[in-house]
Structure formats: structure tokens, C-alpha cells
Chains A and B, each alone.
Chain A
Amino acid sequence: MFSRTYKATVTLPPLLWVTAFLLAPYLLMFCYSFWSVSASQSIVHSWNLDNYAQLLRVEVYWQTLLRSMWIAARVTVFSLLLGYPLAYFLSFYAGKKKDLLYQLVIIPLWVSYLVRAYAWKTILGSDGVLNTLLQYVHLTKHPLEFLLYSPFAVVLTLTHIYTPFAFLPIYAALEHIPRNLVEASHDLGATPGQTFWKVIFPLSIPGVLAGATFAFVLSLGDFLAPLLLGGPSGIMISNIVVSLFGAAYNWPLGAAISLCMLVLVVSLLFFSERLEKKWSFS
């Protein structure tokens, strides 16, 4: 129905833009990762695998990556634990208030990341709201140090940020389950609890996978929360990259790490999608 001119007109401009501003930059990053930096702080375009060798050899990179993955894993688990029952409640028990409650959940999602991270910073500090509150009601005598500038703070803040992200696809998946399946399950003698585990949960798995992927990938690459709240023990892999592009001037190494992250993220997406297809039954 659509002429070739039409199709060409709608396809070419975005195609060109995306090639210029998405594809080319990734390819550039790829190239950079094989270059090195000279003593005089300029980029040397000699092709080598030194950066990758460094990544494999130097411990701090490995440790930080693992710590980042551990933080991301915890954020994912907590986001799912918070988000799933919420989605279930909204989808199956909220009745007429469902719409209003849904809006309430997505509002924090779009409120500035910075605002929310900052809020936690003011709450968790040793002079922060939480500590002074605890001392005020005499639950503690001294400020709790671990609350801020620790992995705990990072996990807490990122969970706060990404719980709505995890919620969205789970809620969408639950809404898609035909209600007559729930009735059929009851009709055949299953209690609501049994119905949940045998019918509702299996059918919601693609949503869970999507939510988990969101939460994990975005937490893994986060650098703002660690900078604000992580302290020395809460450094994540992206912070290393940031410093390599800043004070520790080594763009090629930074590019190498970024590329690894990109590959990791894309692989995760790929596997997640495979799993989702396997678990989708409509």
C-alpha cells in the first residue's frame, strides 16, 4: 500500500541519524578500546590488546566489577520483592482504585533521579534525618555510620529508584492474564494460593524477567548513586570509567571497560529475551 518513495522517506532520515549518533559512537568506542594513551596524555592510535590485558590482570577492576554485579543483584532481588506483590495487589485486588494507584506508582519513576538520590543522602547521613530521629527517640546513642557512604546506601537508593521499573512489566504481564483462567482454577478446586503458584505466577514470568533485566542492567551501570552515597567502599565499575575519562585520563582503557559493559548488557538482554519467549504462552 505504501509506495517506495514513502517508505524511503520515512526510513532514511532516522536511519542516517541512528547510524551517525548511535552506531558510529559504539564503533568508535570499539576502536578506542584497542588504542592506548601516551605519557603526554594524548591518544595513540596504535592497535593493541593492552587494555584488555590490563582488565584481566589488575585486581581492582575485577573486584569492582564483581562488587557492582553483587550490588546490582541485590537491587534486582529487592526491587522484585517489593514490586511483584505490589503489582499483584493492584492487578487483582485494587478494583476501582487500580488506575489511581497505578499513577501513584509511576510518578516517582519520572521524578528526577538526582532529587531522589539527594533525598536519601540527607536522610542517611550521620547528621541526617534518620540518625537524629533515632537519637531523638532514644533508640540509639550514636549515629549509625553504615547508613551512608556504604554499599548499603547504594543498594537502598537504587532499590528505591528501580522498584517502579521492575513493577511496570510485571503489572503489564499480570493484567494480560485472562481472568477466566483464575476462575477456571478455582472451579477445579484450587485455593487462591494454589491458583497463584500454578497459574498466575508462571504466566507472569516474562514480566518478571523484563523487570529483573531493567533493574539489573541499570543498576550495574549506575555511577551517580555511588558518587553521592557510596563512599570508598561503594565504588562501582562505572565510577572507575568516569575517573578514566576524568582525572585518571585514560580514554582507551575507559572505552575498553565500557565496551565490556555494553557487551554484557546486550548479552543479558539477549538471554532474557530468549527466556521470556520460552515462558510466554499466548
Chain B
Amino acid sequence: MSTSQTTAARDAVAGIRTRPLLRIRNVAKNFGKNKVLRNISLDVAEGEFLTILGESGSGKTTLLRIIAGFESASAGEVWMGDERLDRQPPYRRRVNTVFQHYALFPHLTVEQNVAYGLRVAKRPEAEISSRVAEALGKVKMSAHAKSKPSKISGGQQQRVALARALVNRPRLLLLDEPLSALDANLRRQMQVELKSLQREVGISFIFVTHDQEEAMVMSDRIALLRSGELEQVATPREIYSRPSTAYAAQFIGHTNLLKGEVREGISRCGPLAWQTSLPDGPVLLSLRPENVRLAAENTVLSNSVRVRGKVLHQAFHGATELIRVDCGAGLVLVVRTSGSNGALDTVDLEFSAADAVPVRESPERI
């Protein structure tokens, strides 16, 4: 991220402490016996791009629908500013949604779709025309203003859905996996466009996705949801380098999950041992593959852990390579290096002990 974006993210995080836009307090949702959401508390800052990240069944869409007003929470409250948001029907909330399958009105043109919210609010015609034109311009769909939704492509429909939501100048925009139906290249392009659009417009976005890469690229903060509870809420960098649980470590990016034991200041894991200040007891460590290096013969880093192993598999990814190494005593490490190695057989690996981050085990959720 560039410096200005880092600053913006930091401001967003700081903004929460001053005056959050949206406050979700102890929200729970049950469908019959099924506890889809349990005790969710979360703040969203003004102008922040927050992603709710989770697998299918994690409850992320349900949470979004509660904020939008299409479901009501079984317990808890949602506040926007000084008002209870969850007491209001969806058509009174200053919140707009971009639906997963766009939900464009098939009997209205692109223009009429975008104008819908303004028409319903009975804004004057002149204002409607200019705002609609502006919104269409922002999403680059001005040329298609008079087309019907069935005549434009999926990517174009998505932009129209975006314009239709934004034209109403909501305080909060909700996006329910809007990019999931697009192919990979278009998706990457839209990620960039969405992010810059959000910066430009300056309103808070809550973005729901199951794609962790997408979450990392776009968000100021990520809220990782698992089985209806928040696993971790942090900036992408923080969640990546300091995951709080094993699930977080594994869900976002690749990791090596090392099971070990600490006794009298020595951390032991398979054939490895190193000094540590962690307390005694069993320990779970997350070690990112890029933090494990192929050791040069005669370099020794301070506080580095070395091990020799046999290469099981090399997966070439173009710019990088993932190498699986059997280090003996049941330990297999995955190493990410640049892609310029030839075929390897036996390798020396090293990593810095500080890069083995302790993580909790995530509790079972019934």
C-alpha cells in the first residue's frame, strides 16, 4: 500500500475510537435451532473499507442482511450514529446494498434502474438527471444508459448495480460478494476500481467475500468470521503477520503450523529446537513459507533455526516456487522462494525464530 493509503487505513482504525459510523453490539441470529451468528460486536469507522471474510456458512451474508434490514437479529443491537438502525425497515435506512446477483430491475433501463431510489424519494427531475449521469459516468456506463439489463454483460450489470446504490449517497454501502460471478481478470480489474471508487466517494464500504486474497487487496480492515463468531478483526498486514488463531493463520495465505512444546525456555518442534521466552507448555506456531529460506552455505543469521531436509515436491508458480521439504521426525516444511531454482534434492533451510508466531487453537463451535 502507498503511504497515503496507509495513512488512510490508520485514520480509519483511529476513527473507530473517536466516532464509529456503525456499531454492532452483541448481535446473534438463529434460524430455528441453527445458530448462524453468535455474539457479534464490531465497529465500522467513517470512510473505512471493511471486509467481512469467511467461508460459506460462516454467517457473513446473514450479518450483512441484518445491517441492510432484510433479516432481524435474534439478539443484540445495531446503531448508526445516535439511532438504532435495526428498528428501522430497510427503506428508511441510509444504507444501500449491491446484491450478489445484482438484482437489476429487468423491466427498467439502466438509467431508470439507477434513478429508482431518487424517483422513490421524489427528488426533482433535473436533480435526478444530473445525479444519474454523474453516477453512470463514475462507473463508466454512460454509453449504455438506455439499454435494458438483459442486453449488457455481467461485469456491466455489476457496475450499474454499484451506480444504483451509490447515487443515493448512502452513509454506508454493503457489497454482497459482488465480484464472485466475474472471471479472474475482470475480477482483479474491478477490485482496483472498487477500491479507488471508495476512496473517491469517501463513504464506508462493508464488503463480504470468501476470497482471502481479495480481502487483503482491498480492505482497510478485515473481520474474519468463522461459524458465526469473529475470529480476528485487524488490518490485512496485521492479520497476516500476527494471526491470533490457527484458523486465521491458515485461512489467510499459506502457513506452516508447527506443533511443539516449550520446556525451560527451549521450544521443541520435531527435529527443531530454539530458545524462546514463551512459557512452558504445548505451543502452536505459525510460520509463513516466505519466512523460511534456503540457507546459503556459509551465512549464519543470528537467532536463526537451521534444518536439513529432503525435497518432496516443487510447485512452480512463476515468480515464486513452493517447496515441500521433509525435515525428519515427522516435520514437513513448506518453503516459498523465488522461482529461479533448478530441481533440488537435499536442502538446508533456515528461519528466524521470531517469525514463528504463536497462535491459539480456535474453539470448536457447536
Q: Which residues of A contact B103 (CB under 8 A)?
A: 178, 180-181, 183-184
Which one of A37-45, A75-83, A189-197, A213-221 is at the B interface?
A189-197
When the two chains form their complex, are residues A188 and B168 in contact, meaning their CB atoms are under 8 A apart? yes
Interface of A: prevailing SS: helix
In the assembled complex, the CB of A8 is this many whole angstroms from the nearest CB of chain B, namely 38
CA distance A282 to B95 in the complex (A): 28
**Of A181, A186, A188, A189, which is in contact with the most chain B CB atoms at under 10 Å from its CB?**
A188
**A161-197 interface code vs B (CB 8 A; 1 in, 0 out):** 0000000000000000010110111111111001000
In the assembled complex, the CB of B308 is this many whole angstroms from the nearest CB of chain A, namely 57
The verdict on A181 contacting B96 (CB below 8 Å), with A186-B89, A187-B68, A188-B116 known, is no
CA distance A281 to B99 in the complex (A): 19
When the two chains form their complex, are residues A282 and B106 in contact, meaning their CB atoms are under 8 A apart? yes
Q: Which residues of A contact B96 (CB under 8 A)?
A: 187-188
Q: Which residues of A contact B97 (CB under 8 A)?
A: 183-184, 187
- Which of A183, A186, A191, A203 sits near B107, CB closer than 8 Å? A203
A-B contact count (CB 8 A): 67
Nearest B-chain residue to A190, judged by Cβ: B120
Nearest A-chain residue to B116, judged by Cβ: A188
Q: Which residues of A contact B106 (CB under 8 A)?
A: 203, 281-282
Q: Which residues of A contact B76 (CB under 8 A)?
A: none
Within 8 A of A (CB), among B66-86: 68-70
When the two chains form their complex, are residues B120 and A189 in contact, meaning their CB atoms are under 8 A apart? yes
**Of B89, B95, B107, which is in contact with the most chain A CB atoms at under 10 Å from its CB?**
B107
- Which of A194, A202, A203 sits near B120, CB closer than 8 Å? A194
Nearest B-chain residue to A282, judged by Cβ: B106
When the two chains form their complex, are residues B105 and A199 in contact, meaning their CB atoms are under 8 A apart? yes
When the two chains form their complex, are residues A183 and B117 in contact, meaning their CB atoms are under 8 A apart? no
**B92-119 interface code vs A (CB 8 A; 1 in, 0 out):** 1001110101011111000000001100
Would you call B260 an interface residue if the criterion is a C-beta within 8 Å of the partner chain's C-beta atoms? no
Q: Which residues of A contact B70 (CB under 8 A)?
A: 183, 186
Q: Which residues of B contact A281 (CB under 8 A)?
A: 106-107, 148, 150
The verdict on A186 contacting B91 (CB below 8 Å), with A203-B107, A282-B106, A282-B150 known, is yes
When the two chains form their complex, are residues A185 and B99 in contact, meaning their CB atoms are under 8 A apart? no
- Which of B69, B105, B150, B168 sits near A181, CB closer than 8 Å? B105
Q: Which residues of A contact B90 (CB under 8 A)?
A: 183, 186-187
Nearest A-chain residue to B119, judged by Cβ: A198
The verdict on A180 contacting B99 (CB below 8 Å), with A187-B90, A190-B91, A281-B106 known, is yes
Q: A188-B165, A191-B91 are in contact. List 5 more A-B contacts (CB 8 A).
A: A187-B90, A187-B165, A188-B164, A199-B107, A203-B106
- Interface residues of chain A, those whose CB is within 8 Å of chain B, are 178, 180-181, 183-191, 194, 198-199, 202-203, 279, 281-282
Nearest 10 CB-CB pairs, A to B?
A188-B117, A281-B106, A184-B103, A180-B103, A186-B90, A190-B120, A281-B107, A187-B97, A186-B91, A189-B120
